[in-house]
Chains A and B, each alone.
Chain A
Amino acid sequence: MTYRLAPIDTSTFTAERGASGTDVGDLTVIGSVVQRSDARGHVTGRTEFFEDVAPPRLAHLKMHRSARHHARILDVDLTEAVAVPGVLRILTHADIPNNLYTPLKLIGVGPDDEPVLAVDKVRYLGEPICAVVAETEAAALEGAARIKVTYEDLPPVFDVEEALKEGAPLVNEYHGQNHFIYEGHHCRRIRFGDVEEAFARADHVFEWRYQSAPIEQAPVETTGCVVVPQADGRLRIHSDTQACFFTLDNTALILETPFNTLRIVGGTVGGGFGGKVDVVVEPVACVAAMLADRPVKFVYDRAEEMQVSSPRAAERIIIKDGVMNDGRIIGRKVTLYVDAGAYSRHSPYGTTKAAAHLPGPYSIPNVWADCHCVFTNRTPSSAMRGFGVTIADFALESQMDRIARALDLDPLRLRLLNAYRDGDLKAHRKVAEGTALVEVIQKAAEMAGHELPEAYRRMSSTTREGL
């Protein structure tokens, strides 16, 4: 059998490896083989995913979604839809007890800026307007297709910098402007030292621009839930959410019900990657189950998963660096735009994460950053694998490579020269600890057969000696 086991290198940080004289102290699990506790269920097909639950009298919910990027809703005509055989009920915004929400209100992020079902306006293509509950999936789809919405088109805006210009169409009235406000400021900012002074005395100034597209998590199991009303009036929610308690609390706030009237059965997720952190199917399925007094299933089809589930945000990042001839970066200025799409979801937090990650794992004495969380008429973006950080890293490390190329320097030496060390004050006024970047680069160089001069091999993340 071929395990790819990487042996633990015990030569670094020996002081932290337990009592002297022992090899690894109590650090014994990493590098050993431990069977996954869920593997047997997976290979026998007995792991229960939410859609494996099939309560009797299960009704199906399908959504009628916006056919416009940005429009006023003039009329919603349900006449033909209610006449479809098997359609039990059609929900509109008026059926949702507390129709306006934002998922991060649980940690004090506001304002509420997103309707569960659209009221008088749609702000992105595919925004939910009406929920059709029916005996069969086919009847629910037929009913949803027969709803007629009359729109008055509004000018859309799809570009973050366009959205911030004077006179741009206003995307989200609950904010009043096309950006999220951070404690009274128009963006999340870092001010450390004086970058302009650094640029003036630098040997070189490099400015480059980076841009990423939205990325769909595309889990093989689509987003969904089955809600089962209980005899005592509570609701049992089988969900593939990545965030059971977060979903429970947000759903309770939307239903205006005490948290203990809901029970989430979850924890088994057929791929999430951040795409199942938003609370988008459970609240409306709960309302449907209460009104129809039947179990209700609401699960995205593949097209919905690709079109309306929130992707990783597109980002645009401009980095300007002041660099000395020897490769030391003395000033870094970053302007970063996160495309939140039409609603906040997790993007105000993602933008803060991006700011927290700047200027990368380097000690740069002068740092300036403006990180904008921008609203546009695109699909709301949200969590995905290191969101806020991943694209920032793409930009920062591309920038490092380009500087190395421009100055004909070894890209690893450039990084070792600028790498943060334990005890350095970071741009956010936090003292760096447990950095280890120097050792990681040294080890990577060794494994890749990339030769480093003795002075660079002697560097350590615990001291600034040799710099």
Chain B
Amino acid sequence: MPSQIVSLIVNGEQREFIAAPGATLLASLRESLGLTAAKRGCAQGACGTCTVLVDGRPEASCLVAVETVAGRSIRTLEGVAAGGELDEVQSAFVDCFATQCGFCTAGMIMVAEALLDANPEPSEEDVIEAISGNVCRCTGYRPIVIAVLEAARRRREQVVSR
């Protein structure tokens, strides 16, 4: 099977690149497009650190063959801080001390973004369910759950104040 040209919409921009046979979405983002926020933790879909949004849905990008998502819209952590301004999830992660080593952070924030897009008023159980596929081996789950709830609160307040 030859390499092929794949086109994706990444963080709102049309991007084209050559994908080797079997290239994953994760490898394409990191190696072809230089977007390294999503990480390889296990390469078997178990740790969640490679999570990106495909058409708004969180996916383990290490398990996605990139040609199967050709033409689709991909959102990575690089696309979250618009113009360098942290969004509510990012600023809540900073303020609530929801980062330790930082390796799981990209995946955690992306599942939180997807959760809050779908459910602006999540319960604690909703948050726990949303991050249940993401491993934080520093075991900082508690501050992460608090940060996502705080982000939801900030986002709701912003909507009200607009």
Residues of chain A at the chain B interface (Cβ within 8 Å): 1-3, 35-36, 38-49, 51-52, 54, 217-222, 268-273, 301-302
Contacts and interface: CB of A to CB of B under 8 A. Distances in A.
Contacts, number: 105
Q: How many interface residues does chain B have, given as a range? A: 35 or more
Main secondary structure of the interface of B (DSSP, over half): loop
Main secondary structure of the interface of A (DSSP, over half): loop
A42 B143 CA distance: 15
B97 A45 contact: no
A2 B146 contact: yes
B86 A44 contact: yes
A49 B103 contact: yes
Contacts of B90: 43-44
Contacts of B86: 40, 43-44
Contact of B95 (A1, A220, A221, A268): A1
A268 B105 CA distance: 14
B36 A42 contact: no
A45 B101 contact: no
Given A49-B103, A220-B47, A302 B94 contact: no
B106 interface: yes
B40 A51 contact: yes
B44 A47 contact: no
Interface of B: 30-31, 34, 36-44, 46-47, 49, 76-78, 80-81, 86, 89-91, 93-97, 99, 101-106, 109, 135-138, 146, 150
B37 A270 contact: no
Contact of B94 (A2, A40, A47, A270): A40
A45 B94 contact: no
Contacts of B150: 1-2
B109 A43 contact: yes
A219 B31 CA distance: 23
A271 B99 contact: no
A28 B104 CA distance: 31
Given A2-B146, A273-B137, A221 B39 contact: yes
B99 A38 contact: yes
Contacts of B46: 302
Contacts of B39: 49, 51, 220-221, 270
Nearest to A40: B94
A45 B77 contact: yes
Given A42-B102, A271-B138, A221 B41 contact: yes
Contacts of A2: 96, 146, 150
B37 A45 contact: yes
B39 to A, nearest CB: 7
Given A38-B99, A39-B93, A271-B137, A44 B81 contact: yes
Contact of A220 (B41, B78, B89): B41
A271 B43 contact: no
B99 A36 contact: yes
A49 B86 CA distance: 21
B81 A220 contact: no
Given A45-B38, A48-B36, 17 more contacts: A1-B150, A35-B95, A39-B93, A39-B99, A40-B94, A42-B102, A43-B89, A43-B99, A43-B109, A44-B78, A45-B76, A45-B106, A49-B39, A54-B36, A220-B39, A221-B103, A271-B103
13 contacts: A1-B96, A39-B94, A39-B99, A42-B99, A45-B106, A52-B36, A217-B137, A220-B39, A220-B135, A221-B39, A270-B102, A271-B103, A271-B137
B148 to A, nearest CB: 12
A2 B39 CA distance: 29
Contacts of B76: 45
Nearest to A41: B102
Contacts of A301: 43
A219 B97 CA distance: 19
A45 B42 contact: no
* Of A54, A217, A220, A222, most B-chain CB atoms within 10 Å: A220
